[in-house]
Amino acid sequence: MAILDSDHNDAIATLIQNPGDAGQAQRVFDLARQDPEGAHHARERVMPAPAALPLDLVTQAFRRHNLSMPYTPEVVAQPASLAELVATMQTAATSWQPMKAIGDGYGFANTGSTKGYLFPLVSKLTRVLPFAAGELKAGVDADHLLRFEGGASIDVVTQALWARGKAVLNQPGYERLTYVGTMSSGGHGSGTWCGPLSDHAVALHFVTLDAQGQVTQFQVEKPPGISDPGPFKAQHPGVELIQNDDKLFDACTVAMGCLGIIYSATIKVRDKYNISEQRTKLRWSEIKARLPTLLGEQGPGKRLHSIEVWINPYLIDGEAWGVLGERTETNAAPHGERALVIEYGGPEFLYRLIAWWVQHFPKAVPGLINAALSATQSGVVVMEAPKGLNFGATNLAPVTAASCGVPTDGIADVVDQLLSWFQQRADQTESYITSPLGLRFVHSATALMSPSFGRDTCMIEAPVLLGTPRARETLDAYHDFLAPFGGRPHWGQVNDMPPDRLGQLYPRLQDFLDCFQALNPKGFFDNDFTEQLHLRRR
């Protein structure tokens, strides 16, 4: 049956009269999904759509994807080889210019900002690198290792591995992120059995600057090391090999670009596998009751590979609702299809829909989030692991995001209190987040500055559509709320953490600072982020 203008007009008018009606919100959502253009025109007839401006930001001088800076870098450098990287860094140092490497600018934080030389490594340093004959120690399983340049994206890594019958141990939910950039900011996948990307690294080739401003290179390896020192020296003249320094290795794997530039990384990999996924909408109370069992069922040889939980932060008819995603490893051939909103996204229609309502009638947002959650449900779908561990087309939604890691122990109580806080904030100030909260579970990490250092962690992600009123204020308050629970903000996402909180959250901060002073003695890798946390002043 054709959808008429009057259908949209009536649905919008009815929801305006009663914005808390979840059933009517579902009707508005369904009509918009079936006829996005007609829905958009109907809303325009009521009130103009809000401008698609960056979230709570004044105009920035420089922007690359999500990376925004209030100044333009002196140089945007794109070296195509290690030799060019070394030479360009030396040029920058000779003129006393600060420098910073990024992946492709998909992070939301200020870790990638610089007034000097910006190195978007994804431009040209994206190759998978071979091991030379005899370079690895006897007994090291080269078939389950992969070395690649610092700008290689998750997609480049997973495609290279799949062609060899291999896969990463785990991965984040967006294939265009660089592996090294994600690892360096504490990025992760999901699974109580598996640490974040930093725990998968076994060797990192760094390029940095000494106290005289001269470029130096070293490869730090997880003790006892994978390289045979003699052949390594012959193959990599001028690169110091460090294989017996746990503290240095654990500082370098999550360093936010503060210790130098990672030219290449070597990671552990595994044999390839497929993922069976099912998404089910449930009350949060039902998910919470099952959570201890679900967390214990994850890992090799167990029922589950991992779970993800997405929760509407606002009550619907007095209930909190979420979608439970269960993933299982399988040898079955790929079949089935994820829900349309996941497979093909429609983030454009979702963005336009929710952005209009939050600007003009924000009390309708809870019902619209509820409708969007319902649309992500699916029966059993089997996919190759790189696709199954990816979030899907929802990655294309124009959002900013904060994420905070809290101990997995007691997580149900923390989520209960957080949901109450979001609801109270909405009731009192009409300040909303405009996407579901995401829960992903990560095994404890050894990296000194990882959000999951020393404890099994639930990363709670709060995405917000660009243009949402008071969004940055809400995300900052969200971090403040979780701080007493040991909340550690994700370094690659919105992060306003004050410097006095850092030592409380990271028990081996001084060990990291020792490495910071040793590898960045003249501050060439300092920036707004290091200043925010007073790393140079401690």
Peptide bond into 498 cis (omega under 30): no
Q: Give dist(CA 90, CA 120) in Å, integer.
A: 17
**Do 288 and 213 have their domain in common?**
no
State the pLDDT at residue 59. Answer: 60
- In the predicted model, residues of the chain with pLDDT beneath 50 are 54-56
Cα dist from 270 to 137, 157, 273, 387, 412, whole Å? 19, 13, 9, 16, 32
Verify that 312 and 362 share a domain, yes or no.
yes
Q: What is the pLDDT of residue 349?
A: 84
CB neighbour list of residue 233: distance below 8 Å, 6 or more residues apart? 241
- Contact yes or no for 431/474 (Cβ under 8 A): yes
> 102 and 151 share a domain?
yes
Instruction: Tell me: do 250 and 297 sit in the same domain.
Output: no
Report if residue 349 sits inside a domain. Answer: yes
| One domain, residues 285 and 147 | no
Measured between alpha carbons, how far is 250 from 508 in angstroms, rounded to an integer? 10
CATH number at residue 474: 3.40.462.10
pLDDT at res. 310: 97
Indicate whether 475 belongs to any domain.
yes
Helix axes 284-296 and 411-429, enclosed angle (nearest 10): 150
Looking at the fold, whether 201 and 290 belong to one and the same domain comes out as: no
Domains contained in the chain, number: 3
Burial letters for 41-69: b for 16+ Cβ neighbours within 10 Å, e otherwise? Answer: ebbeeeeeebeeeebbeeeeebebebbbb
Q: Classify 78 as helix, strand or coil.
A: coil
Question: Do 151 and 138 share a domain, yes or no?
Answer: yes
Bridge partners of 515, per DSSP, are: none
Residue 251 shares a structural domain with residue 320: no
Residue pair 251/515 in contact (Cβ under 8 Å)? The answer is: yes
* Whether residue 229 is found in the same domain as residue 364: no
DSSP state of 46: H
213-245 burial, b at 16+ Cβ within 10 Å, e below that, comes to eebbbbbbbbeebbbbeebbeeebeebebbbee
Q: Are residues 141 and 289 in the same domain?
A: no
Gap between the Cα atoms of 497 and 38, Å rounded: 43
pTM of the model as a whole: 0.95
pLDDT of residue 342: 74
Q: Are residues 13 and 114 in the same domain?
A: no
Residue 495 CA to residue 512 CA, distance in Å, equals 19
Domain assignment present for 260: yes
Alpha helical stretches, state H, 54-186: 82-94, 154-163, 179-184
Q: Name the residue range of residue 15's domain.
A: 5-46
- Whether 333 maps to a domain, the answer reads yes
What's the pLDDT at 391?
Answer: 84
Task: Report d(CA 30, CA 336) in Å as an integer.
Answer: 22
Query: By the 8 A CB rule, do 442 and 452 touch?
Result: yes
CATH number, residue 209 = 3.30.465.10
The alpha carbon of residue 260 and the mean position of all alpha carbons in its chain are separated, in whole angstroms, by 21
Residue 438 domain-assigned?
yes
Same domain, 344 and 478: yes
